[in-house]
């Protein structure tokens, strides 16, 4: 029993009491009743069955000790009353790595987005195919923070085996999942992921997906990314999706206002109202060249701007990342 008690030391006191003391106390009461009973043979069998069941139950608890603990840590995360308590439970669940499946499943299925965010954070410490599939599923979560955390988790793995699934999410999923797939491919930073982003520029897609793809290619900043952006200069469809910087400032605005602060206004610049203009802004930031581009310009002037960028790409074709890109280039 001392060995069993030490094994149960990490369990919550109420659990340990139910696991260890209640069955034993019940067996002792049954044994006390047997002493005054006139049918010792039957009572011996009853006591033996109860002891055997208690022993089997204790062995089962020891065998599934990690799984039960993980479920307990997940419950603590979901019902913690203070950030310190929640952080401690999250740390313990992250330390279990691949063994935390029992607990992670409950967090990922929670209806509250902030709890699902904790589940995705803990999921990033696992490396199994199950964890990778769960991260890919979380890319379609309705909460944007959950999607972004899932994207970072997949990117951290640098596993090119998820690329076919990400490509399918871009071509066949929703606009939300397509944007998340672009973010994952950008963050992965492998040659295969960069090549996939460039190839997606040739895939027909609605403007919101093209906007996410352009933002990802701009962040990659390589000559292959710039060459892929050239193919999007012929797309005149309207595209008013806010750029990443504007989305970040919109998210930070309430936090700054709560502290009496005001975000500095961005420098005035001509907004991109079409897919082609958004791609042109990205090319200008990558290359540092601003030849002037608008979907309303005559075709010769648009071709001249594209030719200037194409010449720059050719001159820097062997560079992995454009070396002449200014560090803090203002918006064109």
280: closest CA among 251, 250, 306? 306
Check residue 279 and give its pLDDT.
94
Structural domains of the chain sorted by starting position, each given as residue range(s) with its CATH number in brackets: 2-34+44-63 (no CATH), 66-157 (1.25.10.10), 184-255+270-332 (no CATH)
pLDDT band at residue 98, thresholds of 50, 70 and 90? low
Compute the mean pLDDT over every residue in the chain, rounded to the nearest whole number: 75
Band of pLDDT at residue 27, cut at 50, 70 and 90: low
Encoded tokens for 83? 């950030």
The torsion of the CA quartet 32, 36, 40, 45, rounded to 10 degrees, works out to -30
Tokens of 112: 């509250």
CB-based contacts of 116, cutoff 8 Å, min separation 6: 107, 108, 110, 138, 141, 143, 146
295 neighbors 271 (Cβ within 8 angstroms): no
| Residue 98 and residue 127 in contact, taking contact as beta carbons nearer than 8 Å | yes
For residue range 136-164, list pLDDT tens digits in order. Answer: 888 888 888 888 788 878 888 787 878 88
Q: What are phi and psi of 274, to 5 degrees?
A: -130, 165
Summarised one tens digit per residue, pLDDT across range 236-257 is 999 887 666 555 555 555 665 6
């Amino acid at each position: 029993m001392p060995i069993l008690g030490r094994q149960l030391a990490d369990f919550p006191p109420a659990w340990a009491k139910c696991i260890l003391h209640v069955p034993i106390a019940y067996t002792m009461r049954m044994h006390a009743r047997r002493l005054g009973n006139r049918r010792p043979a039957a009572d011996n069998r009853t006591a033996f069955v109860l002891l055997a069941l208690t022993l089997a139950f204790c062995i089962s608890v020891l065998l599934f000790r990690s799984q039960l603990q993980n479920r307990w840590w997940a419950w603590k995360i979901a019902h913690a009353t203070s950030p310190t308590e929640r952080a401690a439970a999250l740390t313990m669940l992250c330390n279990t790595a691949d063994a935390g499946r029992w607990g992670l499943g409950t967090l990922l299925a929670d209806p509250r987005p902030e709890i699902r965010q904790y589940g995705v954070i803990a999921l990033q410490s696992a490396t199994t195919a199950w964890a990778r599939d769960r991260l890919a599923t979380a890319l379609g979560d309705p909460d944007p923070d959950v999607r972004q955390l899932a994207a970072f988790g997949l990117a951290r793995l640098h596993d090119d085996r998820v690329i076919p699934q990400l490509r399918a999410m871009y071509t066949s999923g929703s606009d939300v999942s397509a944007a998340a797939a672009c973010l994952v491919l950008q963050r992965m930073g492998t040659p295969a992921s960069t090549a996939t982003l460039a190839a997606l520029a040739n895939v027909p897609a609605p403007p919101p997906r093209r906007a996410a793809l352009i933002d990802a290619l701009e962040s990659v900043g390589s000559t292959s990314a710039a060459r892929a952006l050239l193919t999007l200069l012929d797309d005149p469809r309207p595209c008013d999706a806010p750029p990443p910087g504007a989305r970040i400032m919109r998210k930070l605005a309430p936090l700054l206002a709560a502290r009496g602060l005001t975000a500095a206004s961005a420098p005035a610049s001509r907004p991109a109202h079409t897919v082609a203009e958004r791609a042109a802004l990205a090319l200008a930031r990558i290359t540092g060249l601003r030849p002037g581009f608008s979907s309303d310009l005559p075709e010769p002037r648009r071709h001249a701007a594209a030719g200037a960028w194409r010449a720059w790409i050719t001159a820097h074709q062997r560079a992995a990342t454009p070396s002449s890109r200014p560090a803090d280039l203002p918006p064109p």
